[in-house]
Structure 1
Amino acid sequence: MPSWYEESFGEDYLIVYKHRTREDAICEVGKISRWLHLRENDLILDLCCGTGRHTLSLAKRGYHVVGLDLSKVLLTHAVKDAGELAVPFIHGDMRYLPFVDEMFDVVLNLFTSFGYFSDDEDNQQVLREIARVLKPGGRYLLDFLNKSYVVQNLVPKSEREEDGVRIREERWIDGDFVCKAITITDESGTRRYQERVKMYDSGQLEQMLEKAGLNVEKRYGSFAGEPIQSSSKRIILIGCVNK
């Protein structure tokens, strides 16, 4: 049976997450460029780039950037949106990056594109791969959900309509996993998807990063730049590889 992440990131995903806009990505890339002190000649990997919102914003700022994602559907949209921008978009698994050692100056992993695997070792492998492809002194940014915020603010059920498409979302906590069942109904019928993400708190994430050889130097609770608290929506960790 395919894993949830092999089925969920198709055309319907673009409807469910339509609220994630390119305008937001432009603002976030502004913060990323300052926090990571991006340089003109940096080679950046946008790991799990999706439709390339951040990849293309970086490219438009003149940075050299590569996008990688497992979803061929989302990559097709990224290539189309790139237009004349010479941005490589590559199909691949984040546990087994198709790049040589020490290739990138910067690796970005944005909007909870982590914790997809049930086995902690698979999630740890993602961090090892980030460390492997970073040059000595290379920087990274990991943007993840905040476990305490999710547990305290979980909305069990919600329904909405987007362009004539009915979207029903049911959410629950299963041990250390936050789960979502998505039902989409339109004139073509009904489709169902599930998301299942392993939650880690900031301390656990830092331990995993350090184990992979990634030092943690900055910590934020959102792209506004405030410190991480239990009420923070995000955990944003920034640092460099220990080589």
Structure 2
Amino acid sequence: MDPVGSFRWRDVMQLSDVFRGITRVTLGNGSSSLFWKDVWFDDCDTPLMEIYHGAFSFYINEDEPVAKIITATDPSLIFHLPLSTQAREEVRGIQQGTMHVLLDEGCTDAWECNLGGAFSSKLYYDNCLRDTAADDAFRWLWKAKSPIKFKMFGWLSFLDRLNTRNMLRRTHFVMEGNTYTCMLCQNPPKETVEHLFFTCPFSQQCWDKVGMLWPSTGNRLALLHAGREHWR
């Protein structure tokens, strides 16, 4: 039996790793901060796992807290032995860097946002999407003079996040009759954003009322570009 779930929740469950990538830890007792994945080491702005690749590859448990590793006395409980030459050199570097670290049993670890100010949704999205170029269609949408609820509907359709039947099927939503095809067609194809709003005969009749005819192929963003070029 297929697991029932949603890709949306899968993405949400990954946010813990994203959170650790945009914060820096001020150590207290070191019990809740992760040795390899949190940013806490000296003046480094990246986790140890990204700096000491050799040592990290021999690690037994990558989610061990800082306190457990710093106070450990038996390397066989931390690393898969024997270590390579590179890993040994990296471990020495880590040991030298942690010699001055003093844990405070009466104080908890504290996280601070390292995105250039107090945490905000805008800073978070700017960081996550810093290497992503948005399609021009999104700019056209947000600059349009229309109610925000229409813009939100358009935004969800551009991202293919409307609850069309193909989307409901992806999230394991059981439809009556177990059918996920378009209800408006004689020979119903799969109901997608492109079909529902651009190529469905019913939709084409609606567009014909305002004198618009969309291309027969292309994804939703390509169709919008073609429409803008033809009708401005």
TM-score, normalised relative to structure 1: 0.23
Query: Which structure is higher in strand share?
Result: 1
TM-score, normalised relative to structure 2: 0.24
Query: Which structure is higher in helix share?
Result: 2
Compare CA radii of gyration and give the structure with the larger one: 2
